[in-house]
Amino acid sequence: MISIDLAGRTALVTGGSGGLGRAMSETLAAAGAEVAVHYRKGQEEAEAVVRNIEKAGGKARAFAADISDPEAVEQLLSNVERAFGGLDILINNAGMDGPHALVGDDDPQAWEKVIAVDLLGPYYCARAAISRMEKKKHGVIVNVTSVHEFIPWEGYSAYTSAKAGLSMFTKTLAQETADKGIRVVALAPGAIKTPINQSVWDDPESLKDLDKKISMGRLGKPEEVAAVVAFLASDLASYITGTTLAVDGGMLIYPDFRHGG
């Protein structure tokens, strides 16, 4: 029998208080990891995740920080280290898509904010994590990108640019840290049924249009993405680094082309 075993390891999940992050935090804990649940806003939600983990027999704590601030990130990692004794797994999940606007009609400050959270944030977190992981000669960093590291998305150029940048950062960082015992992997979710896109799956017409873009014909569940995160963080994935794994129900195989070009 093969099972995912993260016992004795500490994981930090950024944006761990809701949606995908909540599922990731609870799944990692179910696999045996002690989990640091990060949040920027929503302390009550983060503490609810911690309670759920503790009720299931796991160990978790909530930590607040602005990941777009490098000093705040360093303090976050120090707090996690003091609370749990170290860090073995970093899940760079926190992100935002920003307001819809075409280039030229957009607000440069809003564009820069998306880059700060979605690209600089993972960079700051990874940078702080590596200095701790290399002491153990072991660690895993999972950067959550999106199918939009591959697929353009009109009106969201900051988001797509950040996710594509995070993909190449993943590859470069994996190259830099492979001889230090650190693996770096990207995970690209497709359309997942989370509160952030409820306006889409609550609207029958929008949902019908979206389902046409997915080969499997349905939205994914947060738990389906979280299970892959746990696998990538485990020794079962010990020979995987520097690549992106898409969890998208077949969105990237262009289902519209199944009946011809």
Q: Which residue has the tokens 């485990």?
A: 234
Question: Which of 39, 123, 159, 239 does the annotation list as catalytic?
Answer: 159
How far apart CA 194 and CA 216 sit, in angstroms, is 18
End-to-end CA distance of the chain, in Å?
Answer: 44
Distance CA 47, CA 56 (A): 14
Chain mean position to CA 225: 9
Reply yes or no on whether 123 is catalytic: no
Q: Which residues are catalytic?
A: 159
